[in-house]
Amino acid sequence: MTAQLHPIWEPEKECMDRGELEQLQLERLQATLNRVYRNVAFYRKRFREIGFVPEDDLTEPAHIKRLPFTTREDVSDSYPYEMFAVPLREVVRVHTSSGSSVNPRVVGYTKGDLKTWAQLTARVLASAGVTHDDVIQITFAYGLLSGGLGIHYGAERLGASVLPTSVGRTDRQIKIMQDFRTTTLVSTPSYALIIADRMEELGVDPKQLNLRFAICAGEPWTEQMRREIEERLYVTATDNYGISEVMGPGVAGECLEKTGMHFQEDHFLLEVINPETGRECEPGELGELVITTLTKEAFPVIRYRTGDLCRIVPGSCPCGRTFRRISRIEGRCDNVVVIKGVNIIPERIGDILEQVKGERPVYQLVATRRGRLDQLEIWIEITERLFSDKMREQRTLVDEMRQKVANFIGIVPRIRLVERGSLAREGDRVVPFVDRRSG
């Protein structure tokens, strides 16, 4: 796969010499730090506490490591507008993040921010193979969450046709694919597989559709899931990454080489740290993604701890882009569930369940309490591909799953099979963990 076969949206920026890029980062970082020092009381207080003066104490991007991290709690505590760096009259859009905190994390955008956002999501779409000739069906939520509109404006910037179908109503989604000749599906990976399941039930042959690409985001997924999406929908499936507090979609995205997501380093400063110690991770080492915005006007963030776990991919990409790459998101720091003194990461349970039949189920961990003892339940949505209607085969499969999980974590879980679509969701994403313990 070559860049010539798949043109780069902004080659003069995406293929920039690393020395030029670092100089650009420094200039933009200095401007951002000066602006938040002047306009955001939260950061001014933080800088003064450590005696940091932006004009004097930053001569290279690495010096940012002197500054403290910004956390999700910091943003929630600043609800709604205290961390905005511009007057509210200059804010033309407001989005909020998903999550379960008391106050949502509120993010503002100026006209300039929206223009930048559209350009960055256009880059991500172009790197995934999308052109102005494509018809893009966006199944992300529209509204206060940033996913749907973020991709939407990038697709329009690219010149593609947009079908803003939003979430759910799978039969209708498939009908639109057929009638409107969709070429690109934008969805969570699990929803792409739900669409594939439903197509089989309806007798719809995906080879008769015009689908070429699936652009997936919003939840951790695996290479096995990618292969299944590609084989069942006859598409090329790529990963992309965004987070509302930083921008939304468009922060990073895979090219057709599928060797990691190119991180938009001319607009964001990238760090991966050990979430326990805060030290910088080596390339290839799993850690927490930390992002500093370099061009965001309304809502700049400094060393923002995303809670997302990934790795910096070493080496360069054959596509010609010079931005560093990050791996797919492998889980979240704050998804660690403690049951009977055992730390459990929900995504790792998914890996174990996938080993049983080579297919990752849609599942949710549920903590309950019986008397004084915590119990772990795993609720799994039933699909025809995964579970047989023969009770004996179903019991055998459940027993095997239970045993594999028990061997992995040292706790024997209870496995409950539930109807498809019945698990608790935030938007179109399954909530990975529900705590039903009380007292």
Q: Where are the domains of the chain?
A: 1-332, 337-435
State which amino acid sits at residue 239: D
Closest by CA to 126, choosing from 190, 213, 221, is 213
Average pLDDT over residues 124-134: 97
Distance (Å, whole) CA 379 – CA 431:
11
What is the structure's pLDDT at 6?
A: 60
**Cα angle for residues 429, 435, 439 (degrees, 5° grid):** 160
Q: What is the pLDDT of residues 223-261, one digit of tens each?
A: 988 999 999 999 999 999 999 999 999 999 999 999 999
* pLDDT mean across residues, the chain: 91
CA–CA gap between residue 268 and residue 38 (Å, rounded): 20
What interhelical angle do 147-158 and 111-127 show, nearest 10? 70
Q: Tell me the pLDDT tens digit for each residue of 58-104.
A: 888 888 999 999 999 999 999 999 999 999 999 999 999 865 446 88
- The average pLDDT across 274-290 equals 95
For domain 337-435, which architecture applies?
A: 2-Layer Sandwich (3.30)
H/E run at residue 348: helix 346-357
Please report the pLDDT score of residue 99 as a whole number. 52
Q: Are 262 and 323 in contact (CB under 8 A)?
A: yes
On the CB side of 243, how many CA atoms lie within 13 Å of its CA? 22
Same fold, 1-332 and 337-435: no
Which of 95-109, 312-326, 407-421 has maximum average pLDDT?
Answer: 312-326
Alpha-carbon distances, residue 315 vs 60, 126, 262, 269 (angstroms): 22, 22, 12, 18
- Write the CB contacts of 390 (distance below 8 Å, at least 6 apart in sequence): none
Smallest CA-to-CA distance from 160 within 114, 212, 110, 207 is with 212
- What was the pLDDT predicted at 372? 64
Among the listed residues 308, 422, 433, 313, the one whose alpha carbon sits nearest the alpha carbon of residue 378: 433
Among 98-102, 240-244, 271-275, 307-311, whose mean pLDDT is lowest? 98-102
Q: What is the pLDDT of residue 427?
A: 73
What's the confidence (pLDDT) of residue 7?
A: 75
Q: What is the DSSP letter of 248?
A: E
pLDDT class for 428, splitting at 50, 70, 90? confident
- C-alpha 310/C-alpha 43 separation (Å) is 27
CATH number belonging to domain 1-332 = 3.40.50.12780
10-42 tens-digit pLDDT: 999 999 999 999 999 999 999 999 999 999 999
Longest dimension (CA), the chain: 72
**Exposed/middle/buried for residue 134 (C-beta within 10 Å: 0-12, 13-18, 19+):** buried
Percentage of the chain beyond pLDDT 70 is 95
pTM of the prediction? 0.81
Provide the pLDDT for residue 240: 95
Q: Where are the beta strands (DSSP E) in 99-183?
A: 106-109, 135-138, 161-163
Q: What is the pLDDT of residues 343-388, one digit of tens each?
A: 687 888 988 998 887 888 999 999 998 866 788 999 999 887 777 6
**Tokens at residue 52, please?**
């940091």
The string of DSSP letters for 385-411 reads: TTS-SSHHHHHHHHHHHHHHHHHHHS-
